[in-house]
Amino acid sequence: MSITRRKFIQMLSLAAGGAAFASFTPAALAKALRSGGKNLTSFSGLGNLTLVHTTDTHAQLVPIYYREPDTNTGVGKDKLRPPHLTGKAFLQYYGYSPDTREAYAYTCDDYAKLAREYGKMGGFAYLATLIKGIREERPGKVLHIDGGDTVQGSATSLWTKGEDMITAMNKLGCEVMTGHWEFTYGQDRLNELIKKMDFPFVAQNVNDATWGDPVFKPYVIKQVNGLAVAVIGQAFPYTPIANPGRFIPDWSFGIKDGHMQNVVDEIRAKKADLIVVLSHNGMDVDKKMAARVKGIDVIMGGHTHDGVPRPVKVGDTLVINSGCYGKFVSRLDLQVKNRKIENYSYRLIPVICNLIEPDHEMEKLVSDLRAPYKDKLGEVLGHTETLLYRRGNVDGTFDNLICDALRDHYDVEFALSPGFRWGRTVPAGPITAEDVYSQTAITYPDTYKASMKGSMIKSVLEDIADNLFNPDPYMQQGGDMVRSKGLEFTLYAEKPTGQRIQDLLVRGKPVEPGKEYTMAGWASMTDQPGPPVYDIVIDYIKRKKTINIRNKKPLLVD
């Protein structure tokens, strides 16, 4: 799309704004125009099929800021290999220059500066423009699939129990979906939402816990441009461990790659032209599955929120991860002949709102969905003097804020906050209620106060570290390291289990194994009696008025 300067300025006013990053200097505007506009989506179309992939939007209907991690540590054979590259190492590996739109989209380097220049990313009105544009360019050749973590992560999705997002996904034209956080609405509500979908929900690895029968269709075969394209669903395999099992008591999960092989073989016998796994495994697990299950042509994955600009080829399988929060749309053009991929072309398109005109039908739908909650979402609670963000292997300033609020409310020695990857970035300036909900909007938000022996603290941290840094991807259960305030430690990522957590301190003093310590937390696997975390954080910000948090990053040794 060619853009004049006047048109560009008009488009700026359409982006959901008001934050400190929204203003463009003349130099920044000129730079954005030079690196944006038409070449944002330019792509040499190829072949007879296009797969469009979105994932992990976490219910963010409007554009946001989302800072990529400063640390994404891989262990074993995955060390310093995609997706475990950040900052300058990422840019060098993929051949991108610093201080560019790619640096802004893919890394946290110079984030505040580049965010001022490029503005917010994502939002369904902008996703709709891109996906419609691809469909218009490739009539009859496009299949849009979504990897889940779609109906959770915002206040409006929490309050509507996911219905706002299903309405938006229907409008977007999604054609197949799998899931993860969708399951946290519970079995009954998820089944209600699936009935409202204009597209199938697939998962080959979810079974009845008693009888073993499949709960969902394991796959669908879509006819696209004369090709039979099979899409197999792979829901997040550790849902009952990473999230409360009480929401899905009758269903069992797992990687189940043996069953995946059987499904692939079944589809091959039906003479499908292409087999695509729509995965919520996480990229390291996808790579291992691609090496173990034969006959998969493409894995389009999510869960770990990794924006990877080029497919990783494992044997004959293309493994793709498409980032999160609506920041990217994956486009994979394929030449498929004789049930094989003869050629392909790929682009992970950054959804930079200031360089894309929004789709007005979707824009109106989003506005209508949010209208009943507009005042509550926009309430200004206080102001932050520092950048608030979550994403990183070991720490994030917004989680530090949550822990401060918990310690203040419960008067405890330390507080813990889960290592969730979702949660929008808030620049220096106002903090709204919507910002808080974007970090806390879950169906099990209740808080608690407890006491814990020093030996138990060490044991718990070791277990969490093993979930993240086990060298076998099939033993990694997702998420980042638990965040803490008042509790400090050194984490050795590549040491064996039981030796990763060292130099453990509570309030600056060495932890004594037999001593009891008071702590607070939220998002427990079991029901808790305390108020929801978002109420505590909102009250804390209102009372403090001004927030100034510097990261107190635990030492990570990799």
Domain boundaries defined on the chain: 5-369, 379-557
* Residue 160: half-sphere exposure toward Cβ, Cα within 13 Å: 21
Q: What is the structure's pLDDT at 43? A: 77
Q: Which two tokens stand for residue 38?
A: 């038409």
pLDDT in tens, 291-300: 999 999 999 9
Q: What is the structure's pLDDT at 553? A: 58
Q: In sequence order, what are the residues at sequence separation of 6 or more whose Cβ sits closer than 8 angstroms to the Cβ of residue 484? A: 403, 414, 415, 416, 417, 554
Residue where the block lists tokens 């938000």: 445
Percent of the chain with pLDDT over 70: 92
Fold of 379-557: 5'-nucleotidase;  domain 2 (3.90.780)
> Mean pLDDT across the stretch 95-107?
95
User: CA separation (Å) from 432 to 73, 80, 155, 395?
Assistant: 32, 37, 12, 22
40 band by pLDDT with thresholds 50, 70 and 90? low
Q: What does residue 504 show for φ and ψ, rounded to 5 degrees?
A: -80, 125
Please give the distance of CA 260 from its chain centroid, rounded to a whole number: 24
Q: What is the structure's pLDDT at 394? A: 86
Indicate the range of 37-41, 45-49, 209-213, 529-533 predicted with least confidence.
37-41
Spatial contact of 549 and 384, defined as CB atoms under 8 Å apart: yes
pLDDT in tens, 424-448: 999 999 999 999 999 999 999 999 9
Q: What is the structure's pLDDT at 169? A: 98
Closest CA to 201 of 171, 170, 168: 170
Q: What is the structure's pLDDT at 42? A: 72
Q: What is the structure's pLDDT at 464? A: 92
The answer to whether the predicted template modeling score (pTM) of the entire model surpasses 0.75 is yes
- Between these two residues, 260 and 394, which has the higher pLDDT value? 260
45 band by pLDDT with thresholds 50, 70 and 90? confident
Q: In sequence order, what are the residues at sequence separation of 6 or more whose Cβ sits closer than 8 angstroms to the Cβ of residue 236? A: 148, 179, 180, 183, 242, 253, 280, 281, 303, 478
Distance (Å, whole) CA 148 – CA 529: 30
Q: What is the structure's pLDDT at 7? A: 42
User: Widest CA span of the chain, in angstroms?
Assistant: 68
> Mean pLDDT across the stretch 498-516?
95
Q: What is the structure's pLDDT at 37? A: 45
Residue where the block lists tokens 């797992």: 254
> Mean pLDDT across the stretch 186-213?
98
- pLDDT exceeds cutoff 70 at 22: no
Spatial contact of 438 and 399, defined as CB atoms under 8 Å apart: no
- pLDDT exceeds cutoff 60 at 355: yes
pLDDT in tens, 399-420: 999 999 999 999 999 999 999 9
Closest CA to 149 of 476, 533, 441: 441
B/e letters for 462-501, b = 16+ CB within 10 Å, e = fewer, are: bebbbbbbbbebbebbbbbbbbbbbbbbebbbeeeeeebb
Q: Which two tokens stand for residue 410?
A: 């419960």
Sequence letter at residue 400: N
DSSP state of 72: -
> Mean pLDDT across the stretch 60-73?
95
Closest CA to 182 of 226, 247, 230, 229: 247
Beta bridge partners of 230: 221, 275
Beta bridge partners of 319: 299, 312
> Mean pLDDT across the stretch 456-474?
93
Q: In sequence order, what are the residues at sequence separation of 6 or more whose Cβ sits closer than 8 angstroms to the Cβ of residue 47? A: 333, 334, 335, 336, 342, 343, 344, 345
Indicate the range of 34-48, 145-159, 190-204, 238-252 predicted with least confidence.
34-48
> Mean pLDDT across the stretch 68-93?
93
- pLDDT exceeds cutoff 80 at 19: no
CATH 3.60.21.10 assigned to domain 5-369? The reply is yes
Q: What is the structure's pLDDT at 554? A: 59
pLDDT averaged over every residue in the chain: 92
State how beta strands 49-54 and 328-337 pair. Answer: antiparallel
State the SS3 of 372-384: HHHHHHHCEEEEE
217 band by pLDDT with thresholds 50, 70 and 90? very high
- pLDDT exceeds cutoff 90 at 35: no
DSSP state of 476: -
- pLDDT exceeds cutoff 60 at 2: no
Beta bridge partners of 121: 64, 352
B/e letters for 239-259, b = 16+ CB within 10 Å, e = fewer, are: bbebbbbebbeebbbbbbbeb
Q: What is the structure's pLDDT at 39? A: 60
Q: Which two tokens stand for residue 284?
A: 């390291």
> Mean pLDDT across the stretch 105-111?
96
- pLDDT exceeds cutoff 70 at 528: yes
Complete DSSP assignment for 511-526: PPTT-EEEEEEE--SS
- Between these two residues, 4 and 494, which has the higher pLDDT value? 494
- pLDDT exceeds cutoff 90 at 8: no
